Structure 1
Amino acid sequence: MKRTLILLLQAAAVLLLTAACQADLLTEQDETLIPDPSAPIELSGSAPIETEASGVVTRADGDRLPFTLYAVPSSSSSWPAAPYINKVDATLASGSGTARAISFSPAAYWPVGGQSLKFIGVMKANGATTLSSGSVSLTAGKGEDKDVLLSNNFTGNKSNHSGSMTFNRLMARLIVKPGADNKQVVTCNINGGSSSATYNVLTEATSNQSGTYTINYSTNSDSQTYYLIPGTEISELTNVAAGGTYKGTIQLTNNSGANTSFTTTAGYSYTIEVTASQVKLTITTNNSIGWENGGDINLQ
């Protein structure tokens, strides 16, 4: 009798273990990222514009904005070794609105198990760029290749994928120009913060800041545009010379003449005006503007 009871208990244990293994297997199968060939992924999106005539983005790729497309499970807290969509060439149609068509090749399909995906797109104002282990490189300087745009805010699955990919700028913009009443050649330096950094598209954190970017400006150059890594504090100009006379360090002032400073924020634009008359040198900055406003990058 005792032997029979032991055998029954052993058999029950085997059945319980088998059921548990099957449950685990079903769970694993539900969570696998197996594409459903009957459910193609279709995307749309939008990107901001540069509206100033002096800053119009000139492109040679017609009426579409090229970018690099990625997708990872929405639950990912770190970049996976094999993203669901990995480094695929894509384009965003020009025009207006938030639902402009996105084309990419090869085609991709929603996971059969219904798992949600987070879509990531990265571009520069003058063309596509790529990620490295889930991070994009940021470099301070002049030129549209420094203007990096990222979309990492759209998540969807096979049964619920309304919405679109919205691209936002990762850099801040600084415009330095002579004031309307400037009468002398002024030269100066501006501390532009870190020269390089990386931005993690999942944690949305900037790290690995290194180097120092120094702006060398002359009013002989008229208006100049610089792209700066966010978090750069600017309160003064150094090594200032006006009309050949060395002035040293000059504090920024606001329109009321009081000393001021600002810290750059991604997607915002700042302007410094340098004005030297025969008796006075003034360096003023206005309020920041939302650089995201406007619509589309102007393609010419």
Structure 2
Amino acid sequence: MEKLSLLTTEQSNPKTSRLDEMSIEDILNTMNDEDQTVALAVRQVIPQIEKTIEKVVEAFKNGGRLLYVGAGTSGRIGVMDAVECPPTFGTSPALVKAVLAGGKGAMYHAVEGAEDDEALGAKDLTDLQINNRDVIIGIAASGRTPYVKGALAYARSCGATTVSLSNNEASIISDYADIPIEVITGPEILTGSTRLRAATSHKMVLNMISTTAMVKTGKVYQNLMVDLNVSNFKLRERAKKMVCMITELDENKAESILIETEYNVKLAIVMILAEVDKETAQSLIEAAGGFVVKAVKHDPEGEG
């Protein structure tokens, strides 16, 4: 068994060796200083993140899924990113899904021993019928969590694309990944508490992956989330603002077209900009693979 004490994420940070004696202001300034190094660490692995996104886009275009697998904080970060995709991008809850060691209850309460169960990681993916069109991202700050290792090993045996996300060099889970992403964030401010900088890096990387993949599959027009699920007053107002901004229509006209499309922002925009009826606009969007810019130009083969 590997020694956890040798992992970078388990080392003591010399800058905070007297954390308990610091003033509140000093603690906050130190935390802020240390947090600023996270983005720089993420920048070092952008080539690996790019490769991952390319695989995710390919998966989405071919009926595959993106699945995050993790335990504890790492798994919860995966859940947070996955559950935001349907409201933000109008996707099915099955397209981006998180698998958390210990099940849904582990989101709120630690499930003892779940992260140490390698066989459970494989079983949880077995239940999801993983196939070679899927992309599985195993997340573990330590890079050695048995649950994640078991999940990645099983996913690889199914032919799925496997990606690891960890915070230590030469992580064990990297050996089970087609694309290893090792974000070296270093020792934590509070020794071993990877819910701090390591977890921040996980959120940043997963945000980059899911958001960019959605951009590259037609879920965004310009820098606007035109496929959002309009489910409340705030989002109705946001939808109206987007349509007005893009089409330069007044609010009343924009709202009337949104009502006609049942607040389908993308459909409303294409109707207005392409000057077509609802049915034709829908056909243009489908022919363009969901990309508004292609649909408006009646150019399904154009650059996305």
Higher helix share: 2
More strand by share: 1
For the superposition of Structure 1 and Structure 2, which TM-score range results when normalised by the shorter chain? under 0.3
* The structure with more radius of gyration: 1
